Amino acid sequence: MKQLFPDLWETREEHPFHGVTTHAYLLTQDRGNALFYSTGIGEELLEIQRLGGVSRQYLSHRDEAGQPLATIKKMFGNQLCCDALEVNAISQYSKIDVVFEGPSVEPDKVEVIQTPGHTAGSTCFVFCSPHGPRYLFTGDLIYPEDDGWGTLVQSHAGGQKKTLCESLMKLREVSPDVVISSASVRRSAVQAVTSDQWRAVIDQAVARS
C-alpha cells in the first residue's frame, strides 16, 4: 500500500489488459474506512486490515466486479455499494448491500454522482477530506491516458456517447483538487488539478467524444 495523503492509500498496480493499470483506493476515517474500486492482491488486503479494514466498498461500474468482491466481504464484513443499473452484472460475484437510485450523500460523507455513459450505471464519487483535498473518483468515465485524458463508451454495457458527454459536463462543475480514476494508460491514475485545468480537461474530452 502506498500512502498518497493522510487519509488515502493506493494498492499495488494490477494489469487486467495490456497497457492498462488499475488500483484500488482506501479512504481512512473514524466513521469507517471506504474502499473505492477493487483489488485481488492478498498482501494488500492484509495491509487494509492493518489500517482498520473496510466498512463500505464503492464500485463505479461493473468492470470492477469479480471474485475479489466476495473475498473482501468475507474478510471485512463490509457493505458493497453500486448503482441500480449495475446490480445484475455485479451481484453474480457478491451480495450487494447498498443500491444507488439517484444522487446522494452517504453516511460516511461520500457523495454519489450518477454519471452514465461509459456503462449504463457508471457512478462517480466525491469526498471532501478534512485534510484539505476534494477527491473525485471517476471510475473509467474519464481517465489519464499518455499525455492527455481518455474516455470509452461500452455500448454492450449500456454506454452511450450522448449520456457520456452529459455526465462529463456534470463533472465539470465539481472542481476537484485530486482526480482518481479506476484505470489509467501509461500514466498515474491520480492527478492533481486546478479548477481551470479540470474544466479544460472536460471541455477537451467532450470535444473529442
pLDDT tens digits for 26-60? 999 999 999 999 999 999 999 999 999 999 999 99
Q: Average model confidence (pLDDT) for the chain?
A: 96
- Say which DSSP state 94 is in: S
**% of the chain exceeding 90 in pLDDT:** 97
Binning pLDDT at 50, 70 and 90, where does residue 192 land?
A: very high
The candidate with the shortest Cα–Cα distance to 99, out of 121, 84, 80, 115, is: 84
The mean per-residue pLDDT over the stretch 187-196 comes to 96
Binning pLDDT at 50, 70 and 90, where does residue 9 land?
A: very high
Give the C-alpha separation, 135 to 183, whole Å. 16
pLDDT value at 16 more than 90? no
pLDDT value at 209 more than 90? no
Q: What is the pLDDT of residue 137?
A: 98
CATH architecture, range 2-208 = 4-Layer Sandwich (3.60)
Q: What is the pLDDT of residue 146?
A: 92
The mean per-residue pLDDT over the stretch 13-23 comes to 89
pLDDT value at 19 more than 90? no
pLDDT value at 136 more than 90? yes
Half-sphere exposure at residue 193, Cβ-oriented, CA atoms within 13 angstroms? 24
Q: Does pTM top 0.85 for this prediction?
A: yes
* Cα dihedral 80→82→86→89 (10° resolution): -10
Q: Which of 15-19, 113-117, 196-200 has the lowest mean pLDDT?
A: 15-19
pLDDT value at 18 more than 90? no
Q: What is the pLDDT of residue 39?
A: 97
pLDDT value at 90 more than 90? yes
- Containing H/E element for 127? strand 123-128
Q: What is the pLDDT of residue 169?
A: 97
Q: What is the pLDDT of residue 6?
A: 98
Q: What is the pLDDT of residue 85?
A: 97
pLDDT value at 206 more than 90? yes
The candidate with the shortest Cα–Cα distance to 75, out of 31, 29, 37, 35, is: 35
Q: What is the pLDDT of residue 17?
A: 79
Q: Which residues contact 207 (CB under 8 A, 6 or more apart)?
A: none
